[in-house]
Amino acid sequence: MAFAKIYTAQINLLKGQIVTVEVDISRGGLHAFSIVGLPDKSIDESKDRVSMALKNSGYKSPKNTNLKIVVSLSPADIKKEGSLFDLGIALGYLMSSGEIKFDSEKKIFIGELSLNGELKPVKGILPLVEEAKRQGFSEIYLPIENAREAGLVEGIDIYKVRNLKEIIHHLAGEKNRGKQESEKIFTLKPEPKTKIEIIPKVDSANFRDIRGQESAKRGLEIAAAGGHNIAMWGPPGTGKTMLARAFSTILPNLTTEEILEITGIHSIVGINDGELVTHPPFRAPHHTASYVSLIGGGTFPKPGEVTLAHRGVLFLDELPEFEKRVIESLRQPLEDNIVSISRAKGTAIFPSNFILVAAMNPCPCGNLGSKQKPCICKPFDIDRYKRKLSGPIIDRIDMWVSVGAIDYSKLGAEENHGELSSTIKERVLKARARQAERFKKHFRNIKQNSEMNVRDLTALVKLDEETRKTLDQSAENMMLSARAYHRIQKLARTIADLAGDEEVSKSHVLEALQYRPREFS
């Protein structure tokens, strides 16, 4: 009996963590099979999965031997979670018992074993492969279903494995095949790298399909061009939700770097089913969503909706219906584009650079100010409804747009003369290109106007004396905070970019001021 060492990996927050599997087997005494290194319940159950998988692959089950087996997962001070260590434990046992021999250096083994020895897919494979490459590993063995996602990483050989017998044959050769083996198994070959193909998205909503609401469309175009947060309010049934869904169709395509980043996040949570995320995410949690589900958290912090919406859209329909604590938790991600989660067992910082699109009614019944239906809300209910949105949250939303009732004659018209989303997207892309060029000259690694800080505004948003005076007087009359003052400048800069103007003029500032809230201030 001997000592064996195998390498595997797990997710630690949003990054990969290399884990060393050490196996030691000794004779004498009663049978014992223990796993140490802060394993969770799923890893403790790995003893049964590995034993049955080995038995059904032609090897003797560890549970049928009079051996003391100790499996150590290191670093020992980091909590180990999940079933992805099964393959490493099984191979470590076979090496330690002398059943097979191979060089395990520079190789990573990841996968959950079924009782018959087949490999099942695991979550978060992309960050694991990226970390393996960073640590200098040259080969990684994983389930077939994870191969496409893993193939996004260059500089490391990807081997997809169907079952335990297949990988044993590949690693150790013909002489190490199980005695009960009879079928032909071929040597594994590295998989070709995955090519990113952005397939046009079949959208259920298009700006051309939305009748009227030109001011809301204009506001959403500006929001897309500069990455600004926007809120729409108006009576029920006026198209707020449809406008929000159409909004994602005018956002710029993701870069290769962003595709890898977002796919990795969604893979960790397990919501991409092995597919690549090639379009900006659109997340629309229900208003009953909890604080943890929106922001993230847990004993061992996990990402929430604000992180899943990274580089995309977070749509909060019926915003005042969310719990006040949930709404207030948006302060940090809206301001800093990150969310910091602190727990007794650690602190995690998750990315959350999204565009917030919020929709709400003017009152609980939705008919306040309507000429068609009377409002049945009591003054106290209306006041409580509006107080769900605090001043700091209102301040962090750049644009507030009214979405009024639609003329029935427009709804019944057979012809639709609205612009296609693709046409609006072209203008958005041109505005983004102007911003990218400006930031490049300014030596700032940011992509959109909403990410500018005060120093950037001073350098990049030059206002003439008349325009500055108009902005200052308006800010004083509207009692704007310093934050709102700076957001007006960012918004004006985006409006100028859409118009193709080099300098921010008075007309750009005046349009930006129109989007400050009046109903809720």
pLDDT at position 342, please?
83
pLDDT at position 174, please?
47
Structure tokens at 272: 């991409």
Helix (H) or strand (E) holding 21: strand 15-27
Give 398-410 pLDDT, tens digit per residue: 999 999 877 766 6
Dihedral sign from CA coordinates of 291, 292, 293, 296: positive
Measured at the alpha carbon of residue 214, what is the angle toward residues 376 and 511, in degrees to the nearest 5? 100
Same domain, 87 and 141: yes
Q: Which CATH number is 169's domain given?
A: 3.30.230.10
Please state, in angstroms and rounded to a whole number, the distance separating the CA atoms of residues 290 and 311. 22
Give 405-451 pLDDT, tens digit per residue: 777 666 666 566 678 899 999 999 999 999 999 999 988 889 999 99
Are 315 and 322 spatial neighbours (Cβ–Cβ below 8 Å)?
no
Same domain, 168 and 40: yes
Give 226-274 pLDDT, tens digit per residue: 999 999 999 988 889 999 999 999 999 999 999 999 999 999 998 888 7
Q: Which domain holds residue 130?
A: 3-176
Strand partners, 12: 15
pLDDT at position 297, please?
86
What is the rounded radius of gyration, in angstroms, for the C-alpha atoms of the chain?
28
Neighbours of 455 (CB within 10 A): 10
Same domain, 240 and 388: yes
pLDDT at position 348, please?
87
Angle between helix axes 482-499 and 421-441 (nearest 10 degrees) is 110
pLDDT at position 414, please?
59
Please state, in angstroms and rounded to a whole number, the distance separating the CA atoms of residues 357 and 319. 10
Same domain, 462 and 315: yes
User: What does DSSP assign to residue 98?
Assistant: T
Contacts of 389 (CB under 8 A, 6+ apart): 319, 320, 327, 520
Q: How many domains does the chain have?
A: 2
Please state, in angstroms and rounded to a whole number, the distance separating the CA atoms of residues 252 and 262. 15
CA atoms lying within 13 Å on the CB side of residue 169? 21
Q: Which CATH number is 344's domain given?
A: 3.40.50.300
Low-confidence ranges of the chain (pLDDT < 70): 1, 28-29, 173-186, 203-204, 344-345, 408-417, 518-521
Judge whether 409 lies within some domain: yes
pTM: predicted TM-score of the whole model, two decimal places: 0.90
